[in-house]
Amino acid sequence: MSGGIDYLERFEARAGLITWDVEALGRIDVAPDFARILHAASLLEDDTALTVLQCNSFGFDRLEDLAPFLPQWQAEEAEHARALRTVVGHQTPAAAAGQPGRKRSVDHLIARVPARFIGRRSPAPFVFCALGATAEYLATALYSELANRATAPVLTRLLRSIARQEARHLAFFLAAARVRGQEMSSFDGRLSRGVLGAIWAPIGVPTLGREAWLELFAGWLDDDHLRKRLEKMDRVLDSIPQLAGMELMGTFLGEVA
């Protein structure tokens, strides 16, 4: 990679914190089930800070595209967490009860990429970008679905603007993964597939635990439209060189259905 990086430029052109109405969002009531999902989402948004710390310790902050991206990404996700907390922070004790807690806070996906794979020419940044693309794809789908289900217009607006930002994150990770996949040897490609197959889980599962995750989204997985949207994640992965045919989401849905 040399010269201007087009996908970094596209990301930077539209980077910036989302705007949201703290007064109005601090006043609305949401159903307890909905509040639980928003609360869980805010935990996942906060996990970005840990991911970025881990990326920095692996030296990803010295890579031409990831160095400028990571701090901006972290700031944008932190703003999502802040806005979501404003909505759930004042809900009734009944809504707050039973909110999922963090199961693991440090054992994040990227920490499970074996350290010996880390290095300038290693597949680790490729695996990270592919993981990022799957996470951002699912985040985009989750927030657009939440926006459709929200009843307060001010909450719908917030969730839509978060979804749009997640889509921009997806575009960055996908492009960064495609460039790396293209330049990578098939040996490193096979290594990356092995690592991804071993550590991938849908966003939220490592943090909340599989049981709490399934409980949270129980009704969602029976929704045909949403299921199709989740399954489409595998087509996104297929579009990354070296990663075609992995069927990560298909396998997961087959296991939990």
Amino acid residing at 48: T
Which of 5, 4, 8, 1 lies closest to 168, judged by CA? Answer: 8
Cα–Cα distances in angstroms (integers) from residue 85 to residues 21, 66, 80, 132, 193, in the given order = 13, 28, 9, 23, 36
Query: Of 80 and 193, which CB lies nearer to Fe ion in the complex structure?
Result: 80
What the block records as the tokens of 253 is 């849905």
Find the shortest distance in angstroms from Cβ 235 to Fe ion.
Answer: 20
Find the shortest distance in angstroms from Cβ 75 to Fe ion.
Answer: 11
DSSP H or E segment with residue 68 = helix 66-88
Query: Of 51 and 242, which CB lies nearer to Fe ion in the complex structure?
Result: 51
Find the shortest distance in angstroms from Cβ 162 to Fe ion.
Answer: 6
Instruction: Give the binding site for Fe ion (CB under 5 A).
Output: 45, 77, 80, 136, 166, 169
Q: First-to-last CA distance in the chain? A: 42
Query: Of 166 and 188, which CB lies nearer to Fe ion in the complex structure?
Result: 166
Find the shortest distance in angstroms from Cβ 39 to Fe ion.
Answer: 14
Q: Which residue has the tokens 């396998």?
A: 251
Query: Of 168 and 244, which CB lies nearer to Fe ion in the complex structure?
Result: 168
